[in-house]
A = this chain, B = another copy of it.
Amino acid sequence: MTSPQATTRQDCLALDAHDPLASLREQFKLPEGVIYLDGNSLGVLPRSTAARVQQVVAQEWGDGLIRSWNTAGWIDLPQRVGNKIAQLVGAGDGELVVADSTSVNLFKVLSAALRITRADSPARKCIVSERSNFPTDLYIAESLAREHGMRLVLVEPEDIAQHLNADLAVLMLTQVNYRTGRLHDMAALTQAAHAAGGLTVWDLAHSAGALPVDLRASHADFAVGCGYKYLNGGPGAPAFVWANPRHAERFWQPLSGWMGHAAPFEFTPDYRPASGIARYLCGTPPVISLAALECGVDTVLAADMTTLRRKSIALTELFIELVESRCAGLQLASPREASKRGSQVSFAHPSAGYPMMQALIARGVIGDFRAPDILRFGFTPLYTRFIDVWDAVEQLAQVLHSGEWREPRFNQRSAVT
């Protein structure tokens, strides 16, 4: 894929005019005066969400009350929304459910994966992951490693292959790294992990809805993912969990709550896991947030993922090209090769990344900062235009050249940075 030639603002307008996905931007309510390059942290609000949430609150809850578990289909929501997400990640119908948070789901699948590998090979002592994997993934793995007397081995991405050996129990990776946007080859690494006798757990937080994912074709073992990034499900939207059907029924997962029971409303005192992925449900799901998630997932289903990926690459290549030509001092921290990158671009600044990002946000261009030195920009092709890329770089260049980021107000840390 070659980068689009865009050396003027006019060129960007022309690219937007020919963008086959341009009309999908109409699905969203974007605030005035903002260029939003943080959809990889929190996706924007779909136009359909407010009315749907209002319907759930006022009619389904307010009027229907407890009856809505049946009449409004609340009881089926984890599966219904799960089946929609399944289409985006190469999973089959009935193989994926929405539940809990990514962290909680990771605990479930990593527990299951460890039990499976260690039932077969008790000597396998290692969970291998990437040192800069998203911290919550590492914290959950650390907890389970401690519990099971195992080791969590953290390595650099280029060293993963050499750690897939006879000690491997589970290789746990986020497909797209949250800091650098580096995209792992899921099929190749899964194959290598299997060749070493281990299993794989994939976190799709930064890939589901951002690029084509094919869990089945990759022969992956387990996966989890996030509802509030590229799936536009709203703040803290519930997450999802998938188990390859060859593993789904092999074990209980330890969070054996009533929604994962074979017959939750028989109220039996002993746990009997549901068949298939439903046993990865636990407690009662947050229905309002779950209904909002469905609206977000629908916005992604409206796009063809191949076209979406093509646009994502064009946007990120253009951004890299413009920043490198206009913003000296920023170092590309993402892979330069588009095929090795998700839908985000990160630049490092050795000392002033945080205030630079605050100054940029004050100008209405919202990216985020990731300690210690990363300015991170997410490009959600559903609603990001080429003109946004141009204008964002214009503002970033002005921040750098004006030196305004030295102002004290841009150097005060917030709770969430």
Contact = CB atoms under 8 A, between A and B. Distances in A.
Interface in A253-283: 254-259, 261, 264-271, 282-283
Interface size class of A (residues with CB under 8 A): 35 or more
A139 B237 contact: no
A67 B254 contact: no
A255 B104 contact: yes
Point out which of A31, A136, A368 has the most chain B C-beta atoms below 10 A from its C-beta.
A136
A281 B267 CA distance: 28
Given A107-B255, A144-B254, A283 B239 contact: yes
Nearest to A264: B135
A83 interface: no
Interface in A138-162: 138-140, 142-144, 147, 154
B57 A101 contact: no
A70 B107 CA distance: 28
Given A144-B254, A292-B288, A370 B416 contact: no
A380 to B, nearest CB: 12
A159 to B, nearest CB: 15
A324 B147 CA distance: 54
A324 to B, nearest CB: 26
Interface stretch (A43-51, A188-196, A345-353): A43-51
B257 A104 contact: yes
A371 to B, nearest CB: 6
B69 A416 contact: yes
Contacts of A258: 103, 134-136, 139
Contacts of A76: 415
A417 interface: yes
Point out which of A34, A36, A62 has the most chain B C-beta atoms below 10 A from its C-beta.
A62
Nearest to A254: B143
A252 interface: yes
Contacts of A361: 67
A36 B50 contact: no
A414 B257 CA distance: 21
Contact of A256 (B49, B143, B266): B143
Nearest to A269: B138
A177 to B, nearest CB: 12
B267 A370 contact: yes
Nearest to A41: B66
Interface string A238-258: 110000000000001011111
Contacts of A56: 235
Given A36-B65, A101-B283, A416 B254 contact: no
Nearest to A361: B67
A236 B287 contact: yes
27 contacts: A42-B66, A50-B57, A53-B57, A53-B288, A60-B235, A74-B235, A75-B416, A76-B415, A100-B283, A101-B283, A102-B283, A132-B269, A136-B257, A136-B258, A138-B271, A140-B255, A143-B255, A144-B254, A154-B269, A228-B284, A234-B288, A235-B288, A265-B371, A265-B415, A265-B416, A288-B288, A289-B289
